[in-house]
Amino acid sequence: MSDASFSSGGFPARRMRRLRQNATLREMLATVRLDRRDLIAPMFVRAGTGARWPIAALPRQEQISPDVAAETAKRWRDLGLRAVLLFGIPEKKDAVGSGAWDAAGPVCQAALRIKRAVPDMLVIADVCLCEYTDHGHCGPIYTRSDGVQDVDNDAALALLCQAALAYAQAGADVIAPSDMMDGRIGAIRAALDAAQFTHVPILSYAVKFASCLYGPFREAAGSCPQFGDRRTYQMDPRALGQVRPEVALDIAEGADLVMVKPAGAYLDVIATVRAACQLPVVAYHVSGEYAMIVAAAAAGCFEEKPAVMELIGGIKRAGADLIITYFAERLAGWLG
């Protein structure tokens, strides 16, 4: 260390523990602070009225109908939460995922109702097709010239644009594409601009790894791939070299905020992205990370509250400006 304060004096003149003796001073020196305004709460919406369906894989989370989504948003707003991230569960699925851009579908209906009931709740709409396709992939399937079935990247773009436009028209404040198709940010930006949604920002799932930690989400959203996996489009957790290009491309194409997902095993990636770009960085603490903590706390491994504060706090310390977490409601209560 070149800093003189680190090299000058050693024990007994320098006692770092002196900074830890007074609880008030400890509180003042806690410079990495979680704040309710940093949190984004995921919401699973499904057609119906006055309905809630528990999600077995995600304790305390539920699928809710659009009217309940509006009530929930109101409750969360009263708790100090500022943003929700909407995922839709359609009544019918097909090969192209046409439910994704249905103006009468649950995401559009929830966006409309939330904005009407709680105008200052930020509504972020996840854009992807996997909840809406009968095969569970994030884009339509085609057979490549070598006979292999794959997701048709360029055909997916037009469909993602339709979904993004439907959500913007329904009042979503932010559009968040999570599909990992190449070129989607540019395509969606152009589509939004052409429809006079130049003011609607894009939160890009820029660095999204193919992770086993999405398991509970896929049960919650009914979006399990029916064959194969997502490794031809989501990133390989071992491929550190792809992080910067993915972020650079999305920024060049017009992303306004960039996301890293999952969060806990990727703190180094969050720090890298934080250092590499000037834009807000969002981290997604995903369903499997949530389920692990809830299960470990239930098994008596640790108390849930301090564990969540430490683990979500670590994501903040790594450099995330905003954190998407299924603990948002609990954290809002704890943070006061």
Q: Which residues are catalytic?
A: 208, 261
Candidates 286, 318, 322, 328: give the one binding ligand PBG (CB under 6 A): 286
Residue 135 binds which entry of ligand PBG, Zn ion, none, CB below 5-8 Å type-dependent = none
> 164 to 183, contacts with ligand PBG by CB under 6 A?
178-179
Closer residue to ligand PBG, CB minimum distance, 168 or 286: 286
Q: Is 130 in the site for Zn ion (CB under 5 A)?
A: yes
Residue 214 binds which entry of Zn ion, ligand PBG, none, CB below 5-8 Å type-dependent = ligand PBG
Q: Where are the beta strands (DSSP E) in the chain?
A: 39-46, 52-54, 62-64, 83-89, 122-127, 141-143, 149-151, 174-177, 203-208, 257-261, 281-285, 322-325
Candidates 123, 124, 125, 128: give the one binding ligand PBG (CB under 6 A): 128
The DSSP output letter for 236 is: P
Q: How far is the CB of 234 from ligand PBG (least distance, A)?
A: 6
Q: Is 126 in the site for ligand PBG (CB under 6 A)?
A: yes
Q: Is 263 in the site for ligand PBG (CB under 6 A)?
A: no
* Range 115-119 contact pairs with CB under 8 angstroms and sequence separation of 24 or more: 115/171, 115/173, 116/70, 117/70, 117/71, 117/73, 117/74, 118/70, 118/73, 118/74, 118/77
Dig out the tokens for 317 from the structure.
Answer: 């310390």
3-class SS of residue 174:
strand
Angle, nearest 10°, between helix axes 267-276 and 304-318?
30
Closer residue to ligand PBG, CB minimum distance, 110 or 138: 138
φ, ψ of residue 34 in degrees (nearest 5)? -80, 145
> Rounded to whole angstroms, how far apart are CA atoms 89 and 100?
9
Closer residue to ligand PBG, CB minimum distance, 54 or 119: 54
> 203 to 222, contacts with ligand PBG by CB under 6 A?
214, 217-218
Q: Is 153 in the site for ligand PBG (CB under 6 A)?
A: no
Per the DSSP assignment, residues forming a β-bridge with 285 are 325
Q: How far is the CB of 247 from ligand PBG (least distance, A)?
A: 18
Q: How far is the CB of 300 from Zn ion (least distance, A)?
A: 35
What would the x/- binding string for Zn ion be over residues 84 to 123, using CB under 5 A?
----------------------------------------
Dig out the tokens for 141 from the structure.
Answer: 């399937």
> 222 to 251, contacts with ligand PBG by CB under 6 A?
223, 230
Closer residue to ligand PBG, CB minimum distance, 76 or 217: 217
Q: How far is the CB of 139 from Zn ion (least distance, A)?
A: 8
What would the x/- binding string for ligand PBG be over residues 37 to 76, using CB under 6 A?
----------------------------------------
Closer residue to Zn ion, CB minimum distance, 136 or 201: 136
Q: Is 57 exposed, middle or buried (0-12, 13-18, 19+ CB in 10 A)?
A: middle
Distance of CA 331 to the CA centre of its chain: 16
Q: Which residues contact 209 (CB under 8 A, 6 or more apart)?
A: 234, 235, 236, 237, 261, 262, 266
Pairing of strands 174-177, 141-143: unpaired
Q: How far is the CB of 6 from ligand PBG (least distance, A)?
A: 40
The four Cα atoms 266, 282, 309, 295 give a dihedral, to 10 degrees, of -60
Closer residue to Zn ion, CB minimum distance, 163 or 172: 163
Dig out the tokens for 25 from the structure.
Answer: 């001073």
Candidates 197, 287, 294, 318: give the one binding ligand PBG (CB under 6 A): 287
> Rounded to whole angstroms, how far apart are CA atoms 130 and 66?
20
Q: Residues interacting with ligand PBG, by CB under 6 A? A: 126, 128, 130, 138, 178-179, 214, 217-218, 223, 230, 286-287
